[in-house]
Structure 1
Amino acid sequence: MSAHAKSPLRSLFLIEGLMKLAGGLVFILSPQTPLSVAVAAPIPPIALLLSRLLGTQTFTLGISMLLASARTPTAASSRRIVYWTVFARDATLATVLALQLWLGDNADVLGFSPNGLRAWLAELMPFCLGHLWVLTAKSHWF
């Protein structure tokens, strides 16, 4: 049995891909739902637009992850680049959120409160750390 047969990577791609599809759809179709935790009412229109744009990214990355979870040689060979892409997007977003909290003037950041920015960062960090762990410590799964 090969090392790839024992790898949980395909299942991780499938589960996270479905999560990203669902999360992306929520951000696209009902951005008020996640924003209600991070932004005081009334939610500024620009925050709604930003959420929808991030939702499209999340949805698209979900599709990429689902395609890479297939049991084909092409899908298997693309998993590493898809995972790096997802990690790069999430890590960049986490960095921008952290910098905004640390250096930014949080009085009027599209209506986001510092607690809202922290909640968003806290939601994103487990994914970033998990991706980094797989990419570095479990690279043999690819």
Structure 2
Amino acid sequence: MSFNPSSPMRSLFLTEGVLKLIGGSIFMISPQTPLSVAVGAPIPPSALLLTRLLGTQTFTLGLSMLLASSRTPKAVPSRRIVYWTIFARDATLITVLALQLWFGDNTEALGFSPKGLRAWLAELMPFCLGHLWILITKPHWF
């Protein structure tokens, strides 16, 4: 694969990488902030732990995106696999959240309300669909 100078991928990787670093840091340092939208008080310790764990994943994926955004000979061909990895993580998370909404006992789902689960889905869905759209319809961008 060669570098396509007209491709917006480098800018997309830089932008999303920074957003993932910020979001992951918030999830790790102050999990109560995002959980206040999805979980009623008091926030269960298990929800805090889960949020911190997801924050570490998000932060690490942000680092991967920033590394893949460079113009080095090894970074450019790695962009597709990094993008597939991020898509796979988000699609899996969306699937689990949707299954919890449809089939789970939401009164005991780590304290997450159905409204909170829907908000989480609504936040993830545009990114996941955007990644899938780029992966399927814009392979020449890589």
In structure 1, the partner of 2:128 is 128
Q: Describe how 1:37-52 pairs up with structure 2 within 5 A.
A: 37-52=37-52
In structure 1, the partner of 2:105 is 105
Give me the TM-score of the superposition, normalised by structure 1.
Answer: 0.97
Matched, 1:81 2:87: no
| CA distance, structure 2, for counterparts of residue 23 and residue 139 of structure 1 | 27
In structure 2, the partner of 1:24 is 24
| CA distance, structure 1, for counterparts of residue 89 and residue 73 of structure 2 | 25
In structure 2, the partner of 1:61 is 61
| CA distance, structure 2, for counterparts of residue 90 and residue 22 of structure 1 | 17
Give me the TM-score of the superposition, normalised by structure 2.
Answer: 0.97
Alpha-carbon deviations, 1:91-118, whole Å to 9, x = none?
A: 0000100111011111110000000000
Q: For the Cα contact (< 8 Å) 2:3–2:76, is it kept in 1?
A: no
Letter in 1 for 2:10: R
| Identity, % of aligned positions | 77
RMSD of Structure 2 on Structure 1 (CA): 1.0
The runs of 5 or more residues in structure 2 that have no matched partner are none
Alpha-carbon deviations, 1:104-138, whole Å to 9, x = none?
A: 11111000000000000000000000000000000
| 1:72 shift after superposition | 1.0
Cα distance change, pair 79–3 in 1 and its aligned pair in 2 (3 A): closer
Q: For the Cα contact (< 8 Å) 1:3–1:140, is it kept in 2?
A: no
| CA distance, structure 2, for counterparts of residue 138 and residue 77 of structure 1 | 15
| CA distance, structure 1, for counterparts of residue 140 and residue 103 of structure 2 | 38
Letter in 2 for 1:83: Y
Letter in 1 for 2:95: T
| CA distance, structure 1, for counterparts of residue 47 and residue 130 of structure 2 | 28
Cα distance change, pair 71–3 in 1 and its aligned pair in 2 (3 A): closer
| CA distance, structure 1, for counterparts of residue 100 and residue 141 of structure 2 | 35
The runs of 5 or more residues in structure 1 that have no matched partner are none
In structure 2, the partner of 1:141 is 141
Q: For the Cα contact (< 8 Å) 2:38–2:112, is it kept in 1?
A: yes
